[in-house]
Amino acid sequence: MRSSSVWARRSRRLRLLVPLALAIAWGAAIGADVIDRVLATVEGRVITLSDVRIVKTLGLVAVPAGADADTTILKALIDRLLVLEEVERYAPPEPEDAAIEQRVAAVQARFASPAEYTQALERLGTNAVFVTQWVRNDLRIASYLDQRFAGAAEPNDEELENYRRQHADEFARSGQQVDEVELLNQARARVTAERRQALVREWIEGLRARGEVSVTAPH
């Protein structure tokens, strides 16, 4: 009888504690909504205001001069999730540890000291693992794009010559002997880079058009 009585009291306490725990969890969720909010969903994955703040504070996305940082970063995060879906599907080779470490060190170098870097991570509610994973994915994306667009943007000799003529002022060197081979190499590098950027941009726009993307904030 005594054991039954003890069990009954425990059961009553549990019935009281469960609603309390749920109430606390719900209150925490409401509090989180006050300081954070969903800005977009991409294929069911959420991008929050906190995500944008982390990326902005750590300088993980380049923001052009004069551009709105939050808008630029949100768009970059949307595109990044779409591209990573493709990367995961085709699984490019893993980047070298040394390359990852170099990129992580570059992020840390944006802060005055390792201590300031660590404090920033703590303040943002993230850690060094996030940064490592971010730069790892940067390298995986770059490797995937190299594979996907290899050779697609290469101009022929006639196109190179036309480009050089159209940009003659940019390639001119006052008072210096001009090396035609060097000029053609420079033209090739520039044309290839411009074409590749256009191809990647068009490809990502296609991913956006086909993907399930919902933006709940201006962008």
Average of pLDDT values for 177-199? 77
pLDDT at 178: 59
The structural domain count of the chain equals 1
The pair of three-digit structure tokens given for residue 24, joined into one six-digit string? 């606390």
Residue 84 included in any domain: yes
Tell me the residue type at 24: I
pLDDT at 218: 57
pLDDT at 128: 96
The CATH number that applies at residue 195 is 1.10.4030.10
- Residue with the larger pLDDT of the pair 113 and 13: 113
Q: Which range has the worst mean pLDDT, 118-127, 135-144, 167-176?
A: 167-176
pLDDT at 17: 35
pLDDT at 205: 96
State pLDDT tens for residues 67-85: 999 999 999 999 999 999 9
Residue 13 included in any domain: no
pLDDT at 92: 85
**Is the model's pLDDT at 25 over the cut of 60?**
no
Residue 205 included in any domain: yes
Residue 2 included in any domain: no
CB 38 within 8 A of CB 48: yes
CB 69 within 8 A of CB 56: yes
Residue 31 included in any domain: no
- Residue with the larger pLDDT of the pair 209 and 194: 209
The pair of three-digit structure tokens given for residue 127, joined into one six-digit string? 């850690």
Percent above pLDDT 70 for the chain: 75
pLDDT at 149: 87
Residue 176 included in any domain: yes
Its domain, for residue 81, covers 36-215
Q: Which range has the worst mean pLDDT, 30-44, 48-62, 169-183, 185-199?
A: 169-183
State pLDDT tens for residues 89-115: 988 889 999 999 999 999 999 999 999
pLDDT at 97: 97
Average of pLDDT values for 111-130? 97
- Give the contacts of 47 (CB within 8 A, at least 6 positions apart): 38, 39, 40, 41, 74, 77, 78, 81
**Is the model's pLDDT at 66 over the cut of 90?**
yes
The pair of three-digit structure tokens given for residue 86, joined into one six-digit string? 């493709």
pLDDT at 179: 65
Residue 70 included in any domain: yes
Residue 23 included in any domain: no
From CA 163, how far away is CA 190, in angstroms rounded?
9
State pLDDT tens for residues 140-153: 999 999 888 877 66
Number of C-beta neighbours around residue 110 at 10 A: 13
